[in-house]
């Protein structure tokens, strides 16, 4: 018999009573479709994560779960934000399924990319990133800011997949390693690539929201962007050190010029000394701030206590000594 993995579709929902009745049946139909093709197992589920909604979202999820066992739901005790809701869903699924696909509940991301994601997994990929093929439905402003943001992140040394949001397939194996990333400031798009393993991308069209309204106004987008940079990069601290060195160098040149002016007698009394001190001190202070920053950066990375290595393959079967004893006893 062919291998059909158990799939959990993880869907974060925050105040989505307007859109959920529209999109839930679409997810269900997609799952049915994939089960009929034996692409995924009949034990697959659609897992809704209620992110502390204060409308009827959770009641809706409960009703759906009662009517159809393929729908299941968990609820966060309060609103913690999109990234945390996705993480909660992924961690809930990691021991129950072979693969997860996370997707927003508003129907913006094309469900039909799921088939291809699963196929890519069956070909041996552990992570499959959904990438938007076009941004035509986005406003010019959103497109422009998003592009600038990806460039900025890359420049900061953060590895992100271009035009990929949080629509992706992750295997159980990757999730099991990912649970060791204990940080609380989440930026999943930047963190998942850190886990490694074989990965690929599939392309899809992004549509307009089917109903309800976006929960990502500009302020939240900027917040996520800032989180992305500061959670994954210590480059801003390095920039302070760099600035310190540059300012010191310029100050040094400036001080020479001041001295020349002084000896030529073209200055007012006190001007030269004050200027020299201001230049010198600002340079020294910035360098000091940078040095302190380097240490803070190190502490910051240590406090994340991320795994230091992840093994993806072995030429031998792992057996602990207890298992070995049991095997010997059997023989
Ligand atoms: N969401 C969430 N918690 C929040 C905000 C949003 O779980 O605090 C969910 C929301 O229900 C949706 C997804 O995150 O499924 C993406 O949100 P939205 O569509 O509003 O963002 P946009 O697509 O406009 O960036
Ligand atoms: Mg959306």
Measure the CA–CA gap between 158 and 233, rounded to whole angstroms: 6
- Joined tokens for residue 16: 């989505």
Confidence of residue 324 (pLDDT cuts 50, 70, 90): low
b/e per residue, 220-241, with b = 16+ CB within 10 A?
eeeebbebbbbbbbbeebbebb
Question: What mean pLDDT comes out for the span 177-187?
Answer: 87
Question: What mean pLDDT comes out for the span 282-292?
Answer: 85
Q: What's the pLDDT at 323? A: 62
Confidence of residue 277 (pLDDT cuts 50, 70, 90): confident
Q: What's the pLDDT at 114? A: 94
Cα 13-19-20 angle, rounded to 5 deg: 60
Q: Each residue of 211-241: pLDDT tens digit?
A: 778 777 778 778 877 888 888 888 888 888 8
Residue minimizing CA distance to atom 6 of ligand 1: 82
Q: Each residue of 138-176: pLDDT tens digit?
A: 778 777 877 888 888 888 888 888 888 899 999 999 999
Is residue 204 within 6 Å of ligand 1 at its C-beta? no
- Joined tokens for residue 261: 């002016």
Radius of gyration of the chain (CA): 27
Confidence of residue 320 (pLDDT cuts 50, 70, 90): low
Is residue 218 within 6 Å of ligand 1 at its C-beta? no
Residue minimizing CA distance to atom 1 of ligand 1: 82
Pocket test for ligand 1, best of 9, 10, 11, 12 (most atoms within 8 A of CB): 12
């Amino acid at each position: 018999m062919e291998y059909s993995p158990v799939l959990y579709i993880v869907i974060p929902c925050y105040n989505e009573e307007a859109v959920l009745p529209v999109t839930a049946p679409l997810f269900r139909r997609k799952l049915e479709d994939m089960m009929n093709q034996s692409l995924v197992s009949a034990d697959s589920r659609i897992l809704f994560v209620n992110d502390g909604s204060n409308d009827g979202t959770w009641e809706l999820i409960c009703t759906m779960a009662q009517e159809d066992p393929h729908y299941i739901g968990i609820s966060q005790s309060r609103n913690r934000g999109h990234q945390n809701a996705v993480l909660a869903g992924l961690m809930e699924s990691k021991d129950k399924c072979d693969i997860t696909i996370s997707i927003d509940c508003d129907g913006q991301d094309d469900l039909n990319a799921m088939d291809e994601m699963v196929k890519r997994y069956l070909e041996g990929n552990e992570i499959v990133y959904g990438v938007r093929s076009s941004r035509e439905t986005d406003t010019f402003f959103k497109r422009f800011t998003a592009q600038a943001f990806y460039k900025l992140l890359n420049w900061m040394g953060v590895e992100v997949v271009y035009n990929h949001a949080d629509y992706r397939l992750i295997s159980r194996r990757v999730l099991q390693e990912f649970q060791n990333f204990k940080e609380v400031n989440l930026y999943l798009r930047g963190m998942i690539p850190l886990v490694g393993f074989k990965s690929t991308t599939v392309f899809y069209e992004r549509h307009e929201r089917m109903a309800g309204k976006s929960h990502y106004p500009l302020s939240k987008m900027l917040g996520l962007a800032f989180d992305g940079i500061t959670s994954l990069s210590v480059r801003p601290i390095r920039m302070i050190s760099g600035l310190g060195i540059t300012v010191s160098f310029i100050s040094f040149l400036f001080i020479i010029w001041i001295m020349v002016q002084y000896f030529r007698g073209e200055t007012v009394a006190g001007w030269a000394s004050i200027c020299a001190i201001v230049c010198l001190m600002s340079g020294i202070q910035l360098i000091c701030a940078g040095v302190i920053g380097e240490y803070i950066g190190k502490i910051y990375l240590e406090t994340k206590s991320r795994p230091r290595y992840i093994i993806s393959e072995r030429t031998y079967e792992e057996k602990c000594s207890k298992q070995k004893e049991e095997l010997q006893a059997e023989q």
